[in-house]
Amino acid sequence: MTEIMNNGMWLFLQCVAVGIGIILLYAVLAIILIYMERKVCAFFQCRLGPMRVGPWGTVQVVCDVLKMLTKEIFTPKGVDKVLYRLAPYMILLASFLTFACLPISRGVEVLDFNVGVFFILAASSIGVVGILLAGWSSNNKFSLIGAIRSGAQIVSYELSVGISILTMVVLAGTMQMSEIVEGQADGWFIFKGHVPALIAFVIYLIAGNAECNRGPFDLPEAESELTAGYHTEYSGMGFGFFYLAEYLNLFIVAAIAATVFLGGWMPLHIPGLESFNALMDYIPGFLWFFGKAFFVVWLMMWMRWSFPRLRIDQILTLEWKFLVPISMVNLLLMALVATFGLHF
């Protein structure tokens, strides 16, 4: 009995340590992404961005976080208090579950299921429940309209995201994230999969931006129409959770793209160049993973600050009349490539 209790306590302490590690990494990534967003936005708008607090404005985000932590949390009159307070945690729960499935380096992965891709798609879908709860419970017409827009947009673009990832699953022959990365040891899938892999990558980037409610798909939070959309009535850390989840969802979308299309933590290997491959192996896997993920983040930020906001009918038309049909045809092409061994 004592041995069982000791093993249980050791397992409990391991789970607590892993949880604290994920939370800390979550917070650090959010600070980095917010600073990166401000600097990339400033670059595209021909200005400098935050420069006053700390060298090159590096401490500005930390000050904003501290300010948000000290803001008063108030509950508007007439809200459904239970759902109003539950909504931010639902969105964070979806982010944490999805984040835990990302293989950061060899063996550095909290959850590694044989149906990992399926679990990621299912866990990420929980976030839309939090958004709908926030809009409904806030007793505000602007919040409700923003939540309905966001729900319609996210549910729609989940199809393109899922089909794009499924296209690469067909090429990999497995749904386990670690095995998908291992399958790219002799070449990343975006190169091995020919044209269908490239098409799937482009569609994934477009649909991923829409999944995160980021421009040009940020109509659910259109300040000119809806103030702040579904989180209009939130303050303090309630709003902070939504703000945090938005940037972490951006990183998760980019990290999944880096894992499925760009090899994850796997170094760049070119068949026949053994000396080059050995040199690449000296770079730690986590540096490859984060480097690729931030590269995809930069691509998505580039997209945000280059295109104007779309109307809701244009957003849904793009998905149902263009991206979904192209994705389905592309899936069939990838099936032919995988069946007849036409990939590299």
Is position 344 within any domain? Answer: no
Regarding whether 195 and 47 lie in a shared domain, the answer is: no
Regarding whether 318 and 181 lie in a shared domain, the answer is: yes
**Whole-angstrom Cα distance, residue 79 to residue 85?**
10
Which residue, 70, 86, 102, sits at the end of a domain?
Answer: 70
**Whole-angstrom Cα distance, residue 216 to residue 214?**
6
Regarding whether 30 and 128 lie in a shared domain, the answer is: no
**Whole-angstrom Cα distance, residue 188 to residue 175?**
16
Regarding whether 85 and 24 lie in a shared domain, the answer is: no
Q: What is the mean pLDDT of residues 63-82?
A: 82
Is position 183 within any domain? Answer: yes
Is position 164 within any domain? Answer: yes
Regarding whether 325 and 249 lie in a shared domain, the answer is: yes
Which residue, 42, 70, 98, sits at the end of a domain?
Answer: 70
pLDDT band for position 1 (cuts 50, 70, 90): low
Regarding whether 314 and 237 lie in a shared domain, the answer is: yes
Sorted by sequence, the CB contacts under 8 Å of residue 63 that are 6+ apart come out as: 53
DSSP symbols for 30-54: HHHHHHHHHHHHHHHTTS----SSS
pLDDT band for position 206 (cuts 50, 70, 90): very high
**Whole-angstrom Cα distance, residue 170 to residue 74?**
49
Q: What is the pLDDT of residues 238-288, one digit of tens each?
A: 888 888 888 888 999 999 999 999 988 989 888 778 888 888 888 898 999
Regarding whether 164 and 48 lie in a shared domain, the answer is: no
Regarding whether 95 and 59 lie in a shared domain, the answer is: no
Structural domains of the chain, count: 2
Is position 209 within any domain? Answer: yes
Is position 274 within any domain? Answer: yes
Residue 12's pLDDT is what? 80
Is position 50 within any domain? Answer: yes
Mean pLDDT taken over the chain: 86
Regarding whether 244 and 227 lie in a shared domain, the answer is: yes
Distances (CA, A) of 296 to 29, 59, 67, 209, 230: 14, 24, 30, 11, 27
- Say which amino acid occupies 270: I
Residue 344's pLDDT is what? 64
Which residue, 70, 90, 115, sits at the end of a domain?
Answer: 70
Q: What is the pLDDT of residues 75-104, one digit of tens each?
A: 888 888 888 888 888 888 888 888 888 898
Q: Is the pLDDT of residue 202 over 90?
A: yes
Phi, psi of 208 (to 5 degrees): -65, -40
Q: Is the pLDDT of residue 2 over 60?
A: no
Phi, psi of 108 (to 5 degrees): -95, 85
Question: Can you give the residue range of the structural domain that contains 38?
Answer: 1-70
Regarding whether 207 and 121 lie in a shared domain, the answer is: yes
Q: What is the mean pLDDT of residues 61-71?
A: 83
Regarding whether 293 and 250 lie in a shared domain, the answer is: yes
**Whole-angstrom Cα distance, residue 225 to residue 119?**
36
Regarding whether 27 and 129 lie in a shared domain, the answer is: no
Residue 162's pLDDT is what? 93
